[in-house]
Structure 1
Amino acid sequence: MRSGHDREMTAAGRGPRRFLGVVLLGAVALLLSGCITGVTITYVPAAHRSVAALPTPSPTPSAVAPSTTPKVVPITYPRAGRRTWTVASGHSRVAGSRGRLFRYRVAVEESISGITADQFARTVVKTLGGARGWTATGDVRLQRVAAGGPADFTIYLATPRTRDQLCGDEAVGHVDEYTSCRNGANVVVNVARWVHGVPRYGASPAVYREYVINHETGHALGHGHELCPGTGKKAPVMQQQTLGLHGCTANGWPMVKGKLLSGAPGQYDDPVPAP
């Protein structure tokens, strides 16, 4: 004869079996009736049930993006260079649609560091072919060419003493070393002005560089010096802005508001600063 404790244990032991039977019978009935399809039910005893914790993802270290800021290389040069040259390679498209075609080369003295002939040439081509440049007058077209071919003039970036040689000052015993010039087929940009500009110019170095390219090339295209047209007005590009503005404001372009800006022919008696 079983004790009350045995009956309690037996009843408790039947509990999971009865539950499993009910679940299985119910699932079969639902499957047969078409209400549940493709479902598998697995019974796991309570003693073996557990809640699995989702793994915590490890943090991914952030990648350090490389700097995209271009490194600025300073332009350095001696007072007197070796007078040997690197001519920019290749050629540009013809800038302008009408007028006489002028071809030019671009060369950088090999003693100058921090700027290559091709880099200088890109600035020259962009300036001379700009919408406010000489080709916008409709009178001329311009094209940069490589070494070896025919050219009307060469634009040099030269050290101060080499500037004196190319500009003809050295031959007459004169020392300038400060300004840029045009002498025959030589269009000479003094690297000292390219790097340092001029005092009291009142504009960015980029504007001065546009001015010096357009001014000296303007001489090669047949233009002479001009005077300031009035206090507060823009200086004509053929004014000697390197030596003084005389009440005008700095300007690097021949064309202003779609028109060629000109002043009266002439030049001021400004002294050339010491180099």
Structure 2
Amino acid sequence: MRAGRRGLQKKRRSGTRFVLPVLALVTVSLGAGATLAHLEGKAGEGTAAALGPRPTTAEPTPTRTRTPSPKPKPPPKPAPKKKPSPEPPRKKTTVPQSGAGTFTTARASGEPVGHSGVLRRYQVQVEDGVDLSARETAAEIQRILAHPRSWAAHGRGRFQLVSENADFVIRIATPDTADALCARQGLRTHGELNCETADGVVVNLKRWMLGSPTFAGAPAEYRHLIINHEVGHEIGIRSHMDCPGPGRLAPAMMQQIKGLNGCRSNAFPYDEEGSYITGPIVS
């Protein structure tokens, strides 16, 4: 019995010694697992923080890209203004002081202008050697006499341009020649004035081309005054007139080149309403 108990005790001891190491191993394993679990909780947080956020299964929020607003276009620059072309210098009109003393007659004729009164036929002559066409000058004089404010339009006569058999002659002459022709009638024109002669009218080339310093209009308008004044003498108006009052139109029969005396320069015998422009008789 003792031997059996001793053997049993040996067996029990032997079994106890086997169980204890196993329990110890299990205990160690469980302790280690708990410790590991504890470490994972702490270390996991640190690791997660170090590695960044864990991936999720949610769809990522799309990033909105802001398209920059287009910059407003600057207003178009105004086109540079073109500088006006400089006016060509005006050709200075030169008038010769003297000429050949001979004349060319315009080979031109026309229909009578005017509706009543005595018919007066006239020729136009231009001194030789001057830069003036006799034919073109004749056409201009014809237009002057046909003007609605001139003599013919108001029954003071009819006028017809002819090349021969004329009742009077209109001559365009250089200043020296004009002086010589006017002097035959006892008239002093001083190289500046026009005159009426026994056979017609002498027009100073200087006045025809340049006009008058006392006349407000252009030389082309002043030519109306020359013809209306001298032809006025031809139709019987022998006297000159003076200014009818300050600011009023000067009569065509006034020697306007000698001064206006307060009047406004005027080239026509009649005003725009058809009234005759008259003034005090002076000579």
Q: TM-score with structure 2 length normalisation?
A: 0.64
Counterpart pick for 1:199 among 207, 213, 216: 213
Change in 2 beyond 3 A, CA 1:78/1:138: same
* 1:111 to partner: Cα distance: 2.1
The residue that corresponds to 1:241 in the other structure is: 256
Superposed counterparts of 1:206-225, under 5 Å: 206-223=220-237, 224-225=239-240
* 1:251 to partner: Cα distance: 0.8
* 1:204 to partner: Cα distance: 2.1
User: Aligned letter for 2:210?
Assistant: H
The residue that corresponds to 1:83 in the other structure is: 101
The residue that corresponds to 1:109 in the other structure is: 127
User: Aligned letter for 1:79?
Assistant: Q
In 2, Cα distance between the equivalents of 1:170 and 1:255?
A: 32
The residue that corresponds to 1:136 in the other structure is: 153
SS of 1:259's partner is: coil
SS of 2:266's partner is: coil
* 1:200 to partner: Cα distance: 3.4
* 1:205 to partner: Cα distance: 1.9
* 1:140 to partner: Cα distance: 0.6
Structure 2: runs of 5+ lacking an equivalent: 1-89
SS of 1:157's partner is: strand
User: Aligned letter for 1:117?
Assistant: A
In 2, Cα distance between the equivalents of 1:255 and 1:206?
A: 18
SS of 2:135's partner is: helix
RMSD (CA atoms): 2.0
The answer as to whether partners of 1:231 and 1:248 remain within 8 angstroms in 2 is yes
Are 1:261 and 2:274 counterparts? no
Change in 2 beyond 3 A, CA 1:89/1:74: farther
* 1:213 to partner: Cα distance: 1.2
Change in 2 beyond 3 A, CA 1:240/1:171: closer
Q: Say which is worse superposed, 257-266 or 91-100, in terms of deviation.
A: 257-266
Q: Identity over aligned residues, as a percent?
A: 38
- Deviation sequence 1:179-236 (CA, Å, 0-9, x none): 0111122201101111222213222222211111111111111112111111100011
SS of 1:212's partner is: helix
Aligned pairs, number: 192
Structure 1: runs of 5+ lacking an equivalent: 1-71, 268-275
In 2, Cα distance between the equivalents of 1:82 and 1:198?
A: 25
User: Aligned letter for 2:252?
Assistant: V
Change in 2 beyond 3 A, CA 1:103/1:172: closer
- Deviation sequence 1:232-252 (CA, Å, 0-9, x none): 000110000111111111111
Change in 2 beyond 3 A, CA 1:151/1:201: same
Change in 2 beyond 3 A, CA 1:116/1:74: farther
In 2, Cα distance between the equivalents of 1:143 and 1:175?
A: 28
The answer as to whether partners of 1:165 and 1:171 remain within 8 angstroms in 2 is no
- Deviation sequence 1:134-173 (CA, Å, 0-9, x none): 1022131000110xx3211100110001101221x26769
In 2, Cα distance between the equivalents of 1:184 and 1:105?
A: 14
Are 1:119 and 2:133 counterparts? no
The residue that corresponds to 1:228 in the other structure is: 243
* 1:116 to partner: Cα distance: 0.3
Q: TM-score with structure 1 length normalisation?
A: 0.65
In 2, Cα distance between the equivalents of 1:192 and 1:198?
A: 9
The answer as to whether partners of 1:105 and 1:153 remain within 8 angstroms in 2 is yes
User: Aligned letter for 1:160?
Assistant: P
The residue that corresponds to 2:169 in the other structure is: 154
